[in-house]
Amino acid sequence: MYHRVLEKKPEKESRWHYVTVSEFRKQMNMIERWGYTPITFSDYQLFLEGKLTLPSRPIIITFDDGYQDTLENAIPVLVELNIRAVIFVMGNRKLKSARWDELDDLGSCPLMTDEQVRTVQKMGFEIGAHSLNHTALTSLSKIDMTNEIMGSKEELEKILGSPIQTFSYPYGSVNERVKKVVSDSGFSFACGVYSGAAQFSQSMMDFRRLAVNQDTSRLKFLVILLLPYQYIEWLYARLKNKMTQDIKMEVQSSVQPHSKNGTIKPESFDVHNMVNPNSL
Ligand SMILES: [Zn+2]
């Protein structure tokens, strides 16, 4: 899962999730060198229907948010190396830049225009939806959630004239309620961050993704590619949450009276509600 691809590192400290073009090119070369074949969710759909055989090491490369730098900096590299990818864009086509990602002193993060989204699709890249306005969906009422999810599908289908079948949860914010609305809205696939099933085909509404950003060294990239890194990350998140819960329990038991039966029920931990800071 990629976000921004920049020509060079920003001069100031940034909370943008980015890779530089040269690093991105090296990562794409590594994907080729290690025998991976990038596919799209459309390919995966054809595989499920028995119409396509998948290569031995399929991989899906995704970009969230639909930044103009995806078009300007990532796509030339992908075209040159003949690599396909999936780009999740915003359904609210009035959004000209990624407000949620902007800091006062770092300038704006322009998003692709309708025309650019159409061009990218014509080049063979798959377009998916990323809600209308980049809202954390778990916090919304059913009506607002449906509007964000179904609305983004409708708006994108209007400008592209073809069905949108894949969704990506803003901030990786997802639970069973959100998944149901995404599924009911007609999406075939949806991507979380690392909250979902660890392998292809376990949950179509929560594909696990791994973030690649400025902190991803080449060694880490290789580890992500070759080892079951997703299990390690998932286990780490669970342990971290368990420790936080234990500390909370200790604080609670020292300041609050115990309930009638002498115990305090810990807040239940739902891995699906976990929001990864890398998932902006
Ligand atoms: Zn996003």
Regions of the chain where pLDDT drops below 50: 197, 256-280
Question: For residue 263, what are the domain limits?
Answer: 231-273
In a domain, 278, yes or no: no
Cα 279 to averaged position of ligand 1 atoms, centre (Å):
7
pLDDT of 198: 55
CA distance 66 to 68: 7
Give pLDDT tens digits for 163-192.
Answer: 999 999 999 899 999 999 999 999 999 998
Q: Are residues 37 and 145 in the same domain?
A: yes
Q: Are residues 78 and 206 in the same domain?
A: yes
CA distance 64 to 192: 11
User: How many distinct structural domains can be found in the chain?
Assistant: 2
Cα 90 to averaged position of ligand 1 atoms, centre (Å):
9
pLDDT of 144: 97
Cα 121 to averaged position of ligand 1 atoms, centre (Å):
19
Q: Are residues 116 and 254 in the same domain?
A: no
Cα 171 to averaged position of ligand 1 atoms, centre (Å):
6
Cα 158 to averaged position of ligand 1 atoms, centre (Å):
21
pLDDT of 202: 66
pLDDT of 35: 93
Give the predicted TM-score (pTM) of the model. 0.82
Nearest residue to 199 via CA among 232, 220, 174, 230: 230
In a domain, 169, yes or no: yes
Cα 63 to averaged position of ligand 1 atoms, centre (Å):
9
pLDDT of 15: 72
Q: Are residues 69 and 183 in the same domain?
A: yes
Q: Are residues 256 and 196 in the same domain?
A: no
| CATH number reported for the structural domain that contains residue 112 in this entry | 3.20.20.370
The contacts of residue 251 (CB under 8 Å, 6+ apart) are none
pLDDT of 167: 98
In a domain, 208, yes or no: yes
pLDDT of 177: 95
Nearest residue to 191 via CA among 155, 167, 157: 167
Q: Are residues 140 and 237 in the same domain?
A: no
Cα 66 to averaged position of ligand 1 atoms, centre (Å):
9
Q: Are residues 213 and 263 in the same domain?
A: no
The contacts of residue 51 (CB under 8 Å, 6+ apart) are none
Cα 69 to averaged position of ligand 1 atoms, centre (Å):
14
